[in-house]
Structure 1
Amino acid sequence: MAQIKKACGAIEYNIEFSADGPFDFEVAKNNGHFKARTNDIEEFNRITGWVAKHNGKIIDIKTAETSLEEIFLKLMSQA
């Protein structure tokens, strides 16, 4: 199963933070904070680095992996 997830799945990184803009990445307002989302670990590192450099505060970081069901449905729709 791990091989299937690695080959077909994705990890989404959700970063909730407070900082003063303007931002050089896409954000959404969320409960008085900002939220950025990416599937790219390099972009994740860039965003968290930007927050630190601009004296911001990371409130929460969550990851979401593609489920096996989602992978199956994706593969079946391509067949």
Structure 2
Amino acid sequence: MKSFVLSILALFLILTVIGNASAKCRHNETVPGCRPCSVTCADQHKICSKICIHNYKCYCKPGYLKKHGKCVPISQC
């Protein structure tokens, strides 16, 4: 049982590294480990849970949100 759990964890880590390395993010984007709650200027004030949903996609860097398809500083929302 212990080796099964370790195998699953190893597979998860390998997939994480592969997913992060293969992402082609645009300007002011990154691949966060957990999917962000607010991703656009329109939803920047929504209430978010603390649950981490694992992520392989590009999202705006911290301090930036999407506006018209581009990541802009929150101050420009």
TM-score class, shorter-chain normalisation, is: under 0.3
More strand by share: 1
Structure with the bigger RCO (C-alpha within 8 Å, sep 6+) is: 1
| TM-score, length basis structure 1 | 0.27
| TM-score, length basis structure 2 | 0.27
